[in-house]
Amino acid sequence: MRHSTTLCVRGYHLDVYGHVNNARYLEFLEEARWRFFEEQGVIEEITGEALAMVVVNININYRRAALIHEELAISTEITRVGNKSFIIRQEIALAETGEMIADTDGTYVLFDNKLGTSVVIDGEYKALLDRLRA
C-alpha cells in the first residue's frame, strides 16, 4: 500500500537560498505520515496514549531544491517490518513532472508509554503493521 498526498510550497517554508529548508522537509514527511495513518484509521492505535511511534533513524537524500509555489507529491509506504523496528519509505516529487525532490527511509520503533520501552513487533503489533503494508 502506497499512500499519496500533496502540499504546496509557501513563502514561510523557504530559507535564505529561496529553497525549502532541509528541516522543513521533515515536517512535510511527518504531515504525510499523519495523513496516511488518519486515512487508515489507525492514528489512535499507533500514536495514542498507550503506544507511540518513535523515529530512531532518518536517512534522507535531497535531490533537487523545492521552490515557492511548487506542488509536491509525497508518497508514504511501509517497506519492511522487522522484529524490533520497521521502515517507512517516503518520496517527495514535483506533482507536475514527477521529478524527485527528496527521498527517505525512516526507521521507527513502537514505544510502550507505560513500560517506557520499545516493544517487540509481534502479535497484534505485527498484524497492524502488516495490514498497513498490504
- Bridge partners for 112 per DSSP: 51, 117
Query: Per CB under 8 A, which region of 15-23, 75-83, 89-97, 115-123 contacts a second copy?
Result: 15-23
Residues 31-60 that bind a second copy (CB under 8 A): 31, 34, 38, 43, 47, 52, 54-60
User: Using the rule CB under 8 A, is 87 a contact of a second copy?
Assistant: no
Strands 117-118 and 100-112: antiparallel
Pick from 10, 13, 37: nearest CA to 25:
13
Min dist. Cβ of residue 77 to a second copy (A): 19
Query: Per CB under 8 A, which region of 25-33, 79-87, 114-122, 124-132 contacts a second copy?
Result: 25-33
- The whole-angstrom separation of Cα 21 and Cα 12 is 10
Other C-beta atoms within 10 Å of 11: how many? 8
Question: And the C-alpha cell for 113?
Answer: 508509554
Give contact residues for a second copy (rule: CB under 8 A).
8, 10-18, 21-24, 26-27, 30-31, 34, 38, 43, 47, 52, 54-62, 65, 68-69
Q: Which residues are catalytic?
A: 15
